[in-house]
Amino acid sequence: MRVEFNRFYLQHTKHGKMEISLVPEGLRKIALLSYLLQNGSLAKGCILFWDEPEANLNAKLRVKLVDILVALVKFGVQVILATQDLFLMKELSLRVDTGETKANFFELLEERPIVQGENLDDLFQIVALEAALEQYDREQDVI
């Protein structure tokens, strides 16, 4: 991503230079990370707070997003995410299981104290997982 005449552009390999407003929202967020790294706003020792980073990204791009987040952590950026996306949580948890990175997972529910774990499996209740299992049960009833 680059700035020209106070406008942001993304250099796309297939489509050439594209004004950032024409780029899909999910890719725009990833391009913004690149821009923040390039201009030094996101550097070693910084903290990245990101609410629902998976929004507007398909599953393949979510895997790439986790690649980027793990690389940022290895570079020395502390990454704090808020997500309700089971796919993203599981992908991050897999990276912990393989020893690629370390993480802390938190369960924030009104009816109980905060639960913390080093892996997704350490949490007592994952609302997204429960909803997915309930949907699976309803699907099996239909089939």
In this prediction the pTM is 0.80
- Walk along the chain (143 residues) and give the pLDDT tens digit of each residue: 677 777 788 777 777 788 888 778 888 888 888 889 988 999 999 999 999 999 999 999 999 999 999 999 999 999 999 998 999 999 999 999 999 999 999 988 777 788 888 888 887 777 788 888 898 899 999 98
Among 85, 116, 87, smallest CA distance to 102 is for: 116
The answer to whether 119 touches 96, Cβ cutoff 8 Å, is yes
Q: How far, in Å, CA of 30 to CA of 51, rounded?
A: 14
